[in-house]
Structure 1
Amino acid sequence: MIVVYGIAAQLNPHKARLSEVIHGCMMEVLGLPEGKRAHRFVPLAADDFYYPSDRSPAYTVIEINMMEGRQVETKKALIKALFQRIESELAITPTDIEITIKEQPAHCWGFRGITGDEAQLNYAVHV
């Protein structure tokens, strides 16, 4: 699951396109299938979103929650792809993007009535 935070006036006009860009990177780098999109957007009032003084109001935070197992090189490739594609397709500079990957063991995930370590996934986690 991916959660994206930003100032509402900046984030709302870009939500659909940003979702496309993020999922495109997830498919390209991690091999996720087209239908495996779980994005949550949290548009905030400007007075509810404090950000570093050297960032603009376009400052956007992307939290990526995933099962552990991807190699360091794969995670770095994902982050770099996101920086590049968001800048080229949405004109949000890398300075205004913050990305964190949060990994949890498969047994800590629950979906479709089972835990992640019991699931038969149609994509690889150990890439």
Structure 2
Amino acid sequence: MVRQGAFQVLFALQSNLDADPDTVCQQIAVDEFDLEIVPEYMRTLVQGVLIHQSEIDALLAEHLSSKWSLDRLSKTDLLILRLATYEIKFESETPDKVALNEALELAKAFSDDKSRRFINGVLSNLL
């Protein structure tokens, strides 16, 4: 639920660059999950991806096959990869395999099997 919420917040922020991340977090927490308080880890994920996005994108670019660039990825796949990469590289308390599995669950919910396999390959290369 927390990662799904973070994904939805990042997706909304990418669609509306002027939106306030905290406001969007609150909206997603209330509207999607019936929560009164935004889970702290959801905020951590959103802020972490936003703060480290250039570093994350550089890491991802290194681990994409030569046929791919970040510009060619769907917005959904890129956001899932960014979230997982943030957890793998910047959140020491999250085991890498958990971050990978959670990314695959997000891909299952918001993408398709082909994307799920692609995400698995990129993240496996990163690990």
* TM-score by shorter chain over 0.5: no
Larger radius of gyration: 1
More strand, by proportion:
1
Give the TM-score taking structure 2 as reference length.
0.32
Per chain length, whose mean CA-contact separation is higher, i.e. which structure has more relative contact order (CA < 8 Å, sep 6+)?
Answer: 1
Give the TM-score taking structure 1 as reference length.
0.32
